[in-house]
Structure 1
Amino acid sequence: MEERIVPRGAARTGYRAVGQGPAMLLLASLGRGAEDFAEVAPLVATAGFRVLCPDPRGIGRSSGPMEGLTLYDLAEDAAAVLEAEGTGPAIVAGHAFGNWVARALSAARPDLVRRVALLAASVTTNLDPAIRASIDGSFDPALSAAERLAHLQRGYFAPGHDASVWLSGWHPPVARMQRAATAATDQRWRRVAERHRTLYVAAAEDTIAPVPSLAQLREALGEQVSLTVVADAGHALLPEQPAATASALVGFAREV
């Protein structure tokens, strides 16, 4: 696994890279970083891809202004990685919140995107208040580890899975920045499947983003969308089913 940094104006984006071949960019969830793809990235790389996993601003070696941003600013950070690598248009995959950055990248820099994959992705901003409370509680430093673990299990992990693997790795200031950037962004990023062929990878036990129908996806994203469902996984998906997630991404990428 290589570790690199690319500057863009006042921002610097640190990223991890592994493998050789066509590029696949993996974007992490709300308030979390590239380490979430630690199991998935090598599996995709072994299948013949150059896998790029950037940290968002405020995590690892990534830095830059944290206020007055939109999703397009975060997308341009990701675009800088692709431009630095010079790999040509990439498969861009976003997990959970990362799916919004992936869609913004599709809108802002369509020349850098070949296809888009959305992993355990909320396609609307409407959430059950109780589930939103569990999202917030998962990374609330004022709560005990036991309380946070209960929120993680309820919101992110399928029954029988060890939610403690996500007790660490949270960055509340980054989550606040990402939410503010989303609220400040116009709506043209949403309908990604009108611009690029899109795969929606659903987690069968997801309480945050329950498995949608294909009709719902087409209404929210556009016509060029397909759906695959990963069994025995919740919203966390990546630590629960890394092999199935990697297989879905590789199969989608190989269709090109």
Structure 2
Amino acid sequence: MKKRWLCAALFALLGGCASVPGDTAQAVPNATAAQTRTMVDGRIEVYAQGSGPLVVMLPSRGRGAEDFFELAPYFVKAGYRVVMPQPRGIGKTTGAMKDITLHDLANDTAAVIRSEGGKPALVVGHAFGNWVARMTGVDHPELVRGVVIVAAAAKKYPAGLSEHVDRSAELSLPDAERLKSIQYAFFAPGHDAKVWLHGWYPEVSESQRMAGKATKQSEWWSGGAKPLLDLQAENDLFKPVETRGEIRDEFGERVTVKVIPNAGHALVPEQPAAVAEAIISWDRGLK
């Protein structure tokens, strides 16, 4: 898994990487276009790659766009343009970090979509990013053609899990302690959580946590009125089995539920090929 993390880092620099010998994950397809890095509105750093229908990817709490560097080539190969904005406080992205709500973060996403021409985008949000994706669907429906929520937590999930997310991003703790929380909260049994030992931003994590607390769940929960893919992980502690149908039960046929086997709350680094296949298949079915 360390090799996969290195591969992702090289991808950021070189715009592509080959398969990694000895890695248990499926090989990343070769990119068909180099990755670019630009600034939107002078304050939002955005990585982009490929051409075609627009896909915007929003990362988990306290983590950056690099989490999608291994996933993006699957979409590029399938004929999509992938844009991956850095959240506030990561890389060169700036903006208020205190006294903000999910509406502010959704406005950042909207600015990125407008910078790409304003055609409706598929907005993909992983874990905390799904809150922002759904808020974007509510606040900016004209810019969204569909919402994909990846490893979205249930409306109510087991107590204590959020503490493990906090500990995962607490860099003052020994790596061994952090790794225990990362393994428990994010990865399915048997998967090596070291791939997520790095890439955490404590101040960003806290800012996003407070933005979520400052926004009523009812304001973002629906994701708007566009089609929604609820992409779940089979071993996600944040999504107990009895809650798997809660979003579809509430919003009906506009919601599609897909469960990815052998994955936890991290999901994307665990099963990138399956994640890409599920999203692309669903999106093409919308047309």
- TM-score when normalising by structure 2: 0.83
| Contact 2:169–2:205 (Cα < 8 Å) also in 1 | no
Residue in 1 that maps onto 2:37: 3
Q: Which residue of 217, 224, 227 corresponds with 2:257?
A: 227
Question: Match for residue 90 of structure 1?
Answer: 121
Once residues 188 and 220 of structure 1 are traced to their aligned partners in structure 2, the CA distance between those partners, rounded to angstroms, is: 15
The CA deviation string for residues 54-103 of structure 1, in whole angstroms up to 9 with x for no partner, is 11000011111111211011011011111011150011110000000001
CA contact 2:233–2:263 (8 Å) conserved in 1: yes
| Residue 17 of structure 2: aligned partner | none
Residue 130 of structure 2 is aligned to residue 99 of structure 1: yes
Q: Report the 3-state secondary structure (helix = DSSP H, G, I; strand = E; otherwise coil) of the residue aligned with 2:61.
A: coil
Match of 1:237 among 267, 271, 277: 267
Counterpart of 1:153 (choices 178, 183, 208) is: 183
User: CA 1:49–1:6 in 2, change beyond 3 Å: closer, same or farther?
Assistant: same
Judge conservation of contact 2:50–2:81 (CA < 8 Å) in 1.
yes
User: How many residues end up aligned between the 2 structures?
Assistant: 251
**Distance in 1 separating the partners of 2:118 and 2:283:** 15
C-alpha spacing 1:106/1:54, structure 2 compared with 1 (3 Å): same
Does residue 1:16 correspond to 2:47, yes or no? yes
Aligned to 1:116: 147
Counterpart of 1:146, as a letter, is A
Shift of residue 189 of structure 1? 1.8
Question: Structure 1: how far apart are the matches of 2:201 and 2:116?
Answer: 27
Matching residue within 74, 80, 83 for 1:52: 83
> Does the residue aligned with 1:106 lie in a helix, a strand or coil?
helix
Kindly indicate whether the alpha-carbon contact (under 8 Å) linking 2:248 and 2:257 is maintained by their aligned counterparts in 1.
no
One-letter amino acid of the structure 1 residue matched with residue 265 of structure 2: H
Letter in 2 for 1:7: D
> Structure 2: which amino acid aligns with 1:238?
V
User: Unpaired runs of 5+ in structure 2?
Assistant: 1-34
2:209 matches 1:179: yes
Q: 1:36 to 1:103 in 2, by over 3 A?
A: same
Closer/same/farther in 2, CA of residues 220 and 175 from structure 1, 3 Å limit: farther
User: Is 1:141 matched with 2:163?
Assistant: no
Contact kept, 8 Å, 2:37 with 2:45, in 1: the verdict is yes
Find the aligned partners of 1:245 and 1:223 in 2 and give their Cα distance: 21
Contact 1:24 1:49 in 2 (8 A): yes
Contact 2:154 2:240 in 1 (8 A): no
* Gap regions ≥5 residues in structure 1: none
Q: Which residue of 1 aligns with 2:239?
A: 209
TM-score, length basis structure 1:
0.93
Cα displacement (A) at 1:164: 0.5
Matched residues in 2 for 1:37 and 1:177: separation? 21
Q: d(CA) in 1 for partners of 2:230 and 2:245?
A: 12
Q: SS in structure 1 opposite 2:219?
A: coil
C-alpha contact 1:17 1:52 (8 A) present in aligned 2: yes
Range with bigger deviation, 131-140 or 207-216: 207-216
The yes-or-no answer on 1:61 pairing with 2:92 is yes
Local SS of the residue matching 1:16: strand
Task: Quote how far apart the aligned CAs of 1:142 are.
Answer: 2.7
> What value does the CA root-mean-square deviation take over the aligned residues?
1.6
Percent of residue pairs identical = 45
